[in-house]
Amino acid sequence: MPSEATSTTRPDHVPAAGTQKTSRPYGTGRPAGSGAPLQRSRLRLSDVLRLGGTGIKARPTRAALSALGIAIGIAAMIAVVGISASSRAQLSAQLDALGTNLLTASAGQDLFGRSSSLPEDTVGKVRRIERVQSASSTGLIKDALVYRSPLIDKNASGGISTMAADRSLLDVVAGEIDRGTWLNEATSQYPATVLGHTAAQRLGVVTPGTKVWLGGRWFTVVGILKPVVLAPELDTAALIGQEVASSELGHDAKPTTVYTRSQDPAVSQVRELLAPSISPQAPNEVKVSRPSDALEAKNAAGKAFTSLLLGVGSIALLVGGIGVANTMIISVLERRREIGLRRSLGAMRGHILVQFMTEALLLSTLGGVLGCVIGIGVTGAMAAASGWPFSLPVVAVAGGLGVTIVIGALAGVYPAVRASRTPPTAALNAQ
C-alpha cells in the first residue's frame, strides 16, 4: 500500500511537476495561489505633509535660510508694488483735490529764437473764452533781486525771482497760505510781499513781518505760501502787487504766465483756443501746458523706476529658488540610506518623488508667506511715514504666493526625480 507521501493525489494549489511558482512584484498584481489582488500602496495627504515636514524639522537652520531667500525676493516685489500703488493713490487724491482743469499760457520764442512777450490785456482775452471759469497772471520782474539784507553778496540771490501777481492768483492755482495773509487791495499798493515756500526757506524768513531787500528797497513779508503743486515756479518767488510793481519797480504790466481754470469737459477745447486768443497774429509764440500732465509724466517716470526695482526683486527671488534647489539636492544626498530603507520596505518611486516635491513646496511656501508679511509691513510703514493712503493690490499678494509655489515646484523637480531613481541597494550601501 502506497504511503501518503507518495500519493498521486495533489492539492490544487500545489504546482504541477515541471512548473515554476511565479509571483509579481509588490503591489503590482496578484501573488501565486491568491484569489484577490493586492491593493497598490497609497499615501494620504496627511502622510505626505508629515513626510515633507520631517525633512524641514530635521534641519531647521538650513530650511530657515533657504526660506529667507525666497522671502526676501517676494517681500521686495510686494513692497515695490505696494509703495508704487500707494504713491499713485496719493497722486490721484491730490489731483482730485487740486483739479486737472488748470491750464497755463506763457511767453515763448518767435521764429528767430528771440523771447516774446504777452499782451497787457492777456487776462481779459482769456476770460472772454467760452467755458473759462477764471484766469489770473504773474509777471516776471527781471532786475528785481531778493536778498535777506543789502549786505548780502549780489551774486548770492538764491535763485529767487520777483513776480507781480494778480490778487486772484491764489484761488486759480489752488494755493494756500502757510503763515500770514495773501495780497489784498491795500498791501498790493505798498512794499509788501508774499514769499513762496522755498523762497522763505532760502531767505531764512519764518514769520510774517520780517523785511527783505527787494529791488533795492525794503519790502515787508506779509505771508508765506505752502508748496504749490500745480505751479511749482511760485515756490521760489517773491510775489508783490501789480500796483507797487509798476510804481516802485517800473514793471510794464505785461504778464509772463497766465493761469486759467475751465470746465472739466472743455479743457481740451480751451487748450486749443488759448494761443490764438492771446496772440492772434503769432499763436506759435505762446506756450500752453497743463500742469497735471507734468504730474502724470512724473508718475510715469516713477513707474519706470518701479519696473527696475521689480527686476531686482525678481533676481532676488531667482537666487532664493536656487537656494531651495541646493538645499533639496543636499538633502537627497544626506538621506540616501533613508531612501533605500523606504524603498526596500515597499515604498514606490512615486512615493519618494512626492515626498521630496512636498518638502520643496513647503519650504518655498513658508518663504512666500513670510515674504508677503514683510512686504505688507514695509508698504504700510512707508505709506504711514510719507502720509500716503495704504494701497496694495490683492493680485500682488496672490501673485507672490503663486510665484513661490511655482519656484518650489521647479526647485524640487530635479532633487525629487533623483531621489526616486536611487536604487535601494545603492542607497543602503551609501556612506
Q: Which pLDDT tens digit goes with each residue over 135-177? A: 999 999 988 999 998 988 888 888 899 999 999 999 898 899 9
Q: What's residue 219's pLDDT?
A: 95
| pLDDT at 266 > cutoff 50 | yes
Q: Is the confidence at residue 419, as pLDDT, over 70?
A: yes
Kindly report the pTM of this predicted structure.
Answer: 0.57
Q: What is the pLDDT of residues 280-291, one digit of tens each?
A: 888 888 888 877
**Region 234-238 average pLDDT:** 94
The rounded distance, in Å, linking the Cα atoms of 420 and 392 is 42
Residues 332, 415 contacting (CB under 8 angstroms): yes
Cβ–Cβ < 8 Å for 219, 247 = no
Judged by phi (left if over 0) then psi (alpha if -120 to 50, else beta), residue 159 lies in: left
When pLDDT is averaged across residues 334-351 and rounded to a whole number, the result is 74
Once rounded to an integer, what is the mean pLDDT over residues 286-303?
A: 67
Confidence category of residue 194, pLDDT binned at 50, 70, 90: very high
Could you tell me the three cell numbers for 93?
487724491
Q: Is the model's pLDDT at 93 over the cut of 50?
A: yes
Task: Provide Rg for the chain, Cα atoms.
Answer: 40
**What average pLDDT does this structure show over 80-102?**
77
So what's the pLDDT on residue 147?
A: 93
Q: Tell me: pLDDT of 238 over 90.
A: yes
List the domain boundaries for the chain: 45-94+297-428, 101-289
More confident residue, 28 or 376: 376
Q: What is the model's pLDDT at position 141?
A: 92
Per-residue confidence band for 107, with pLDDT thresholds at 50, 70 and 90 = confident
Q: How confident is the model at residue 26 (pLDDT cuts 50, 70, 90)?
A: very low
Q: Which three cell numbers stand for residue 367?
A: 518663504
Residue 17 pLDDT: 38
Which pLDDT score, from 0 to 100, does residue 239 have?
A: 95
**The predicted structure's pLDDT at residue 7:** 37
Write down the pLDDT at residue 294. Answer: 57
Region of poorest pLDDT, from 219-223, 266-270, 290-294, 407-411: 290-294
Q: What is the pLDDT of residue 431?
A: 54
CA gap 367, 321 in Å, rounded: 10
C-alpha cell at 98: 487740486
> Rounded CA gap, 320 and 302, in Å?
27
**Contact in structure between 346 and 430 (CB atoms under 8 Å):** no
Q: What's the farthest any 2 CA atoms get from each other in the chain?
A: 153
Confidence of residue 8 (pLDDT cuts 50, 70, 90): very low
Greatest mean pLDDT range, 154-168, 312-326, 334-348: 154-168
Q: Report pLDDT for 10.
A: 40
